[in-house]
Amino acid sequence: MFIDAHAHLDDPILSEREQEIVNAAKEAGVGVIVNASSDLPSSEASVALAARRENVYAVIGVHPHEAKTYSDEVEKRLVALSKEKKVVALGEIGLDYHYDLSPRETQKAVLEREIRLADELSLPVVFHVREAYEDFNAIIERNLRYLTHGCLLHCYGGSAELAKYYSKTLDAYFSFGGVLTFAKHKEQVLQVIPQNRLLLETDCPYMTPVPFRGTPNEPKHIPIIAEKMAALCGTSIEEIERVTTENALRFYRIQV
């Protein structure tokens, strides 16, 4: 069984085909899908999706793009949602300086609030970091005492040196998606990450792997990503399936 450790099935591009997509994933051997959120409405949608789909789990939180929407009221609702039994992490949270859809100072302030919220709720965190590693690292250093339940650097795009730093500093896991099939130098990063810290993801409907670039990504593509990860790691796809599934279940504390 494979696990898609980070998906967005509630995205409008996919939501109307929910049943078809879940069925196709199952046929491809993807037994669990973890649905991440970007704001309060998508957090509500993720929880509802997990409630009606046996093999779907929810991650709730406010993405850096939507940091400007964060408020005391949003936080209270996230606390309430966190009590639902299939909520497994807080995320995706972090910093994104590529688009600056929320002011950078707001992103930083909200990230610190959400890190501390995750600690209060005893939840692991799922991080999104894009073109903001210096500020992200500074925030991490200031908040290490609150990062005691594990963290996932989703769609990891940092360097091998940064991966070593996160492995040393945090209880860190790293997930990779379709980018493995078209980006260069990923083998250098994979070589420094222990295999018991690797996860597979699609980030669907985004980051579609080769040869399906230009179409919406889906969990059914996880085996393609696993095959590429196996090649880059110099191991078998069966071994990647085994270790990434074990890692995802451990990180998210999912029992199947």
> What is the predicted pLDDT for the residue at 175?
98
Q: Could you tell me what percent of the chain has a pLDDT over 70?
A: 100
* Mean pLDDT for the stretch of residues 10-19: 97
> What is the predicted pLDDT for the residue at 204?
98
What are 103-142's pLDDT values in tens digits?
Answer: 999 999 999 999 999 999 999 999 999 999 999 999 999 9
Alpha-carbon distance of 213 to 233, in angstroms, equals 23
* Mean pLDDT for the stretch of residues 24-30: 98
> What is the predicted pLDDT for the residue at 152?
98
Q: Could you tell me what percent of the chain has a pLDDT over 90?
A: 99
Distances from the Cα of 212 to the Cαs of 58, 164, 172, 208, 216, in angstroms?
Answer: 26, 32, 30, 6, 8
* Mean pLDDT for the stretch of residues 175-181: 97
> What is the predicted pLDDT for the residue at 84?
98
Instruction: Give the per-residue SS3 of the chain.
Output: CEEEEEECCCCHHHHCCHHHHHHHHHHCCEEEEEECCCCHHHHHHHHHHHHHCCCEEEEECCCHHHHHHCCHHHHHHHHHHCCCCCEEEEEEEEEECCCCCCCHHHHHHHHHHHHHHHHHHCCCEEEEEECCHHHHHHHHHHCHHHCCCCEEECCCCCCHHHHHHHHHHCCEEEEECHHHHCCCCHHHHHCCCCHHHEEECCCCCCCCCCCCCCCCCCHHHHHHHHHHHHHHHCCCHHHHHHHHHHHHHHHHCCCC
One of 1.10.1740.10, 3.20.20.140, 3.40.50.2300, 3.40.50.1370 is the CATH number of 2-252, namely 3.20.20.140
| pLDDT exceeds cutoff 90 at 184 | no
Given pLDDT bands bounded at 50, 70 and 90, which one contains residue 57?
A: very high
Tokens of 40: 């309060």
The pLDDT mean for the chain works out to: 97
What are 86-97's pLDDT values in tens digits?
Answer: 999 999 999 999
Given pLDDT bands bounded at 50, 70 and 90, which one contains residue 146?
A: very high
Given pLDDT bands bounded at 50, 70 and 90, which one contains residue 249?
A: very high
> What is the predicted pLDDT for the residue at 185?
85
> What is the predicted pLDDT for the residue at 216?
98
What are 77-86's pLDDT values in tens digits?
Answer: 999 999 999 9
